[in-house]
Structure 1
Amino acid sequence: MRFHVPTSRGWLNGGIIVILACAVYFLPSGPAPTGNLSVLLAISLLWLVPTLTWHDRIPGRRDLQLLTAAGLTFLCTSLVTLLWHYLPGPVSRTGLIMTMAIFGWLPSWLPRQQPAVLPPRSYRYLWVALLLFTILLRWPNLGYKELQGDEGIVMNRAAAALLGDDNELFLHQKGPIEILLPMMIWQASGAIHDLWLKVPFAIASTLTVFVVASLGSFLWQQPDDQADGKFAQRAGLLAGYLMAICGFSVAFGRIIQYQSWVLFWGCLALLWAAIYQRRQTPLALLLSTFFLAGALLAHYDAVLFLPACAWMLAPPLSIFGT
């Protein structure tokens, strides 16, 4: 991968990120509305801005670009937070904000990809309807109740980890992701609230619907098609709507638990494995294995994705003599 000197737009993005990072750092936390504003700015710095800056550095369709960029952003920022936690002492707020700002600006040094292929105009409204339907099932009254038992354990461990307790993630007996995500919001913004703690998990549940829809659309796409045909679009939309009403996805998208991330990264691993099966590009193989590793980092339940990924990757990699 070659690095390029940022364009004027890249330097502008860097300036915006620096201003945003300074606002996150210096804005005092507290009760609403100041506390809500500090959390919103922190979420923008941690996840929104990097997703927007990374998406056009990834080849593929527009939906694939955005979903992959979001998956990379959440996974990479989690790994960065994990590294800061492993350093002796409390997690550095200054260091965390600085590294997140650098991660958000890093794509400015990478070449932009060709314009992505958009779905046919007649189907864009159906994709928007799928988004609204998914949000309607997952987001209303997200913070209406206090944290339940397992969520309380997660937050207690997050608080101890922020103060420098190195044992908390190992005592948890699950993957660290469900602890690292609240840690990021808490440390970056200095504020904590039941609603904002659940936002990353609701985002993962929402994005999973579109990963499943994109996977269904891609699997039914003919290899020689430049854009999805009608049947592929319908298959993808049907898969997305079925995932949108899946009670498992809806329920775990509203609480602080790892299942939403296992599904999100596991389905992304399947999607890129399917792309590698058809196109055999090194980037597709790298992303598939990276997202599968992220799902396993969330919880060992992700091992259930291994057979499907192996089935897709075995022929092009000549595994098992195929």
Structure 2
Amino acid sequence: MSLTMNSKIEDLSTELWLEIFAYLKIRQQFNAFFGLNKRLNQTLLSYRTHISWRNNDEDAQHLLAHVLPYMTHPKNVTGLRLENTKRIDFNYYGNLFDFPRLKALFLHRLNITEDLHSIIQRNSTYLRYLYISQTISCNKLLMHKFLETILSLQNLQTCSLRLRLCMTPLRIKISSKSSIKNLRLMGTSEICTTDRLIKLLEYLPQLQSLHIIANQFSFISTKSTENEICTVALSNFILNINELTVPFIQLADFIISVMPFIQELKVVCRTAMQNLNYLNIHDWIKFVKSSPNLKNVTFDVHRGNEIDEQKWNNRCQMLIKNMNLNHVTLRIGK
């Protein structure tokens, strides 16, 4: 007589259930499986590691009404995304977004408010990754407090911010320096001014990588007196701008002064070059000899119609050859 073992879908391992849930929206998960048995209920409420609230749609409303208030292990949540949450009252529901072990926070299309600021402060202990995109606020005082909080996060490693947030005059009072190692400043229609950038860098002694996306890179001081030059130990710098309006030698001097240990440099210009000034061999050699750690340079540009193609190609080849002689790998062009 042979024995047969009956198996039910409820008997699947927790790991398999989590794999299944990964393919379903939040409402689908709960409408189909919540109440099937206690173990599944516990799995739905206890093993959730990422919370995503977007656009106040039905899934977001279900999350707010039926999931967040009943989560048994909020410490398991390590990732939180809040996007376009205009109709949520963070003053009333803010405590539902308290996750003591949060490591990654993504904020997109949100106004900076005191309630949102409080959420970041309450979830800041283990925060390692912060992404803030398209944030809008008219309250400059609150923006200062917001930035001050970000720079005070003790475990933050990687941070992406709107450029405008960091280009306002800084009057920050914090007791310790920031732990940020990788910083991305985004503002395709905004101007990055060097004096305010330098002021920001004073708070970032551990910075290793800096990526700036802006309309222009400006050396026009926003104050009557210039800031003192500070140096940072970063090894990677990416400058992605709409047009190069400053002389190459001025940009090179800035990099030499502020980033003396740079190893990787990438300059991206989104509009065509109008002349050959940025391909001056003598200026590049001077720059390379003043940057002893520099190993790789990417000059991501394209030729404008005003420049003769043969002259452009000859200058590029000569420049690449000279850089190789100085042990620097240079790539020019798209």
Normalising by structure 1, we get a TM-score of: 0.22
Bigger Rg, which one: 2
Greater relative contact order, per chain length (Cα 8 Å cut-off, separation 6+): 1
> If each structure's strand is expressed as a fraction of its own residues, which one has the higher value?
2
Normalising by structure 2, we get a TM-score of: 0.22
